[in-house]
Each structure stands twice: as C-alpha cells, then as structure tokens.
Structure 1
Amino acid sequence: MEQLAIFEKYIDSFVITPEIIKESGFRKSQPDFYCLVAEDKGEIAGMLVYYFLPYTAENKPSIYMKELYVDENYRGQKIGEQLMDALKNEAQKNNCSQIKWTVAPWNDAGQRFYQRLGAKENKDWLHYEWKV
C-alpha cells in the first residue's frame, strides 16, 4: 500500500500501518475492506483492496475497488488482470450488479489497462471530496 501511495503521489498523507490493516480488515467481524493478494515465492506481487456497497438502485450490492497495485517487478505478467478476474468472480458470487473504481487522470497506463479489460469510463458522475 505504501508503494501505491508513492505511485499515486499521496505519500505525504499516508498513515496506514500493518496494525491498522490487521484491525480493520482481519479482526473485525464485519471487516472494513477485503483484499486479494498475488504472491510469487512468498513475495507480494500485487494486491487489490475492495469493499461492498450494499445499497443501490438495482437492489443489488456493488463492489468498490479502492486499490489495485502490481509491484513494478511483476508488471506485464497479467497479475493485474488475474486480480481483476478474481474480483469479478467475487462480485458474481455475491450477486453484485457492478464494480466501480476511480483512476487518476494522469494514469494513462491504468486507463488503457481498464479499457483493455472492457471497462467503460462513467462520464455521468463527477468525483467530489469533502475534507473534514
């Protein structure tokens, strides 16, 4: 996750620790997030973090993909595609109607990757934030 924060240029505000991950994702009976991990000989090659959006107009849940990161040593080996396929299987298993995510406008490689998978940019909605 730290490498993703560096890649996406928000490392200055990054405060996630291994303890936070353990507590939020693995110790709670209703975890705040779920994670798919790609490993190679005990090394993390990539990871995908997601959570469920239970309430939609279609009366079906959706999945929101929060993070997808493949270590630069493993890029070009279809690990991102395998993680996305695993997420699609998770969505189907949980009767989800769609998977949603955002991608930085400067991340051309990410945009090409998602388009290659058949994903479509949603131009119907604007992304807003409200810092509190």
Structure 2
Amino acid sequence: MQIHAHYNGAKPDPYLINHHLEDNRLSPESALKIIATSEPGGEAVGLPEFVFLNPQADPAPDKPLQYMIKELFVKETFRSAGTGRALMNWVIAHAQAAGCARMDWHVKPTNEAGIRFCRSFGADAVAGRVSFRLMLR
C-alpha cells in the first residue's frame, strides 16, 4: 500500500491491493518476480520487482538476458539507511548470476536522489531514450 501511496499520493483499499497481488503480481503465471526484505520483526521494509527479458535489439549470445527492474521501493523510514543499497547489490548479483548482459530501470527525471543512487552503482542514463505510456482504460 505504501508503494501506491508513494507514487499516487493516496492509500487504496487494502482488499483491492491484496486481490491484485494474489491474482496478478504473485500468481505463478506472472513473469514479474518480487523479493522482499524485512526487519527482524517481519515487517517488509523494501522490495525490488523485476523481470527477465530476451531483448531482440541487443542480443548477446554469451549473455542473452536483460534484467528489467520494474520497482525498487524502500519504505520511507528505512531510506538512507542502506536498505536500498543492499537490495540493489542483491539485484545486481542476481542478474549477474543469471547471465544477464545488462540491467535497465526507470527513474523520474525529478528524482535527484534516485538518480544519484543509480549513478553510485556505475549506471548511466540511456542516451536518446524517452519513456512513453499509453493508458488503455
């Protein structure tokens, strides 16, 4: 729910969120994978959501996979405490172990802290790319 509030500014109905998670994002048919990190009491404090892709435009026979991060979210009270860095280090190691040639993810151009965070891992903005969205409902 905090992810939704973070991006949309409003808390949704918990029933709708649970229904969406169970039926879509966490279903066995979903290509999206989610890993959560928690504090000792069991409360989730951060998560990356990712998917493996086989890019057509940039095939690399020795490393044919692309790792696409859909979300990398850390609960507000745990930001700047190393949680995001630990999650990103796990994501990088996971992508490397799977034989990925590259990782891609989106960051809002106004998210200066997020951009600094990405650059701290050696990532570069993709030149000549603009993100688009077409709403279908």
Q: TM-score, normalised by structure 1?
A: 0.84
**Residues 9 and 101 of structure 1, relative CA distance in 2, 3 Å threshold:** same
Residue correspondences, number: 130
| Distance (whole Å) between structure 1 residues aligned to residue 100 and residue 133 of structure 2 | 25
Deviations 1:81-126 (A, max 9, x none): 1111111111112111111011111111111111112111112222
| Distance (whole Å) between structure 2 residues aligned to residue 131 and residue 109 of structure 1 | 28
Aligned to 2:47: 47
Task: Give runs of ≥4 in structure 1 deviating > 3 Å.
Answer: 9-16
**Residues 105 and 96 of structure 1, relative CA distance in 2, 3 Å threshold:** same
| Distance (whole Å) between structure 2 residues aligned to residue 10 and residue 52 of structure 1 | 29
Q: 1:84 aligned to 2:88? A: yes
Aligned to 1:37: 36
Q: Give the deviation of 1:49 after TM superposition.
A: 0.6
Aligned to 1:100: 104
Larger Rg: 2
CA contact (8 A) 2:2 2:11 kept: no
**Residues 92 and 72 of structure 1, relative CA distance in 2, 3 Å threshold:** same
Q: Give unpaired runs (5+ residues) of structure 1.
A: none
Partner-residue secondary structure (3-state), 1:127: coil
Cα RMSD of the aligned pairs, angstroms, is: 2.4
Aligned to 2:2: 3
| Distance (whole Å) between structure 1 residues aligned to residue 106 and residue 122 of structure 2 | 15
Aligned to 2:21: 21
| Distance (whole Å) between structure 2 residues aligned to residue 90 and residue 14 of structure 1 | 33
Give, as a single letter, the amino acid of the residue that structure 2 aligns with 1:48. Answer: P
Q: TM-score, normalised by structure 2?
A: 0.81
| Distance (whole Å) between structure 2 residues aligned to residue 53 and residue 43 of structure 1 | 30
